[in-house]
């Protein structure tokens, strides 16, 4: 049995991927804390409702082998965008607030830990079902 065939592990993996992507975006914001005209970015929130409706990115149907696919890939689920509501903007046009980014970073880290702990807990449950303790 492959672990990833279980929906639960699939979701955990997806969430971990999302948190990793968010961490990268936040690191980028922090690195640009003093860059003129830089607007901080954040990834689109991963919602449970989207999972249920299966909101996959829409692509054009390829009905003929001669059809060429566009060069730009469909926007992925993990999509970063400029933060619309900004806390404050410095005179040079930079709107990164380090404290805000730090809180987001701590949040991403805590959630990541939650995901890894859940993962381990469920592996332990499977082990228990196999009769090897857990």
Q: Which residues bind another protein (CB under 8 A)?
A: 16-17, 19-21, 23-24, 26-28, 30-36, 38, 98, 101-102, 105-106, 108-109, 112-113, 116, 119-120
| Closest distance of CB 80 from another protein, Å | 11
| Closest distance of CB 61 from another protein, Å | 30
Q: Of 23 and 51, which CB lies nearer to another protein in the complex structure? A: 23
| Closest distance of CB 76 from another protein, Å | 12
Pairwise CA distance, residues 49 & 82, whole Å:
23
Which residues have CB under 8 Å from 34's CB, separation 6+?
94
Q: Of 36 and 134, which CB lies nearer to another protein in the complex structure? A: 36
Pairwise CA distance, residues 32 & 130, whole Å:
50
Distance between terminal CA atoms of the chain? 19
Pairwise CA distance, residues 21 & 15, whole Å:
10
């Amino acid at each position: 049995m492959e672990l990833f065939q279980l929906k639960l592990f699939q979701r955990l993996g997806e969430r971990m991927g999302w948190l990793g992507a968010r961490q990268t975006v936040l690191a980028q914001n922090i690195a640009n804390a003093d860059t003129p005209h830089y607007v901080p970015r954040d990834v689109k929130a991963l919602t449970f409702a989207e999972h249920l409706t299966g909101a996959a990115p829409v692509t054009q149907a390829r009905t003929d082998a001669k059809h060429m696919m566009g060069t730009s890939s469909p926007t992925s689920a993990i999509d970063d965008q400029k933060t619309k509501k900004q806390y404050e903007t410095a005179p040079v046009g930079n709107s990164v607030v380090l404290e805000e980014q730090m809180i987001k970073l701590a949040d991403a880290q805590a959630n990541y830990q939650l995901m890894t702990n859940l993962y381990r807990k469920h592996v332990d449950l499977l082990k228990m079902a196999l009769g090897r303790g857990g």
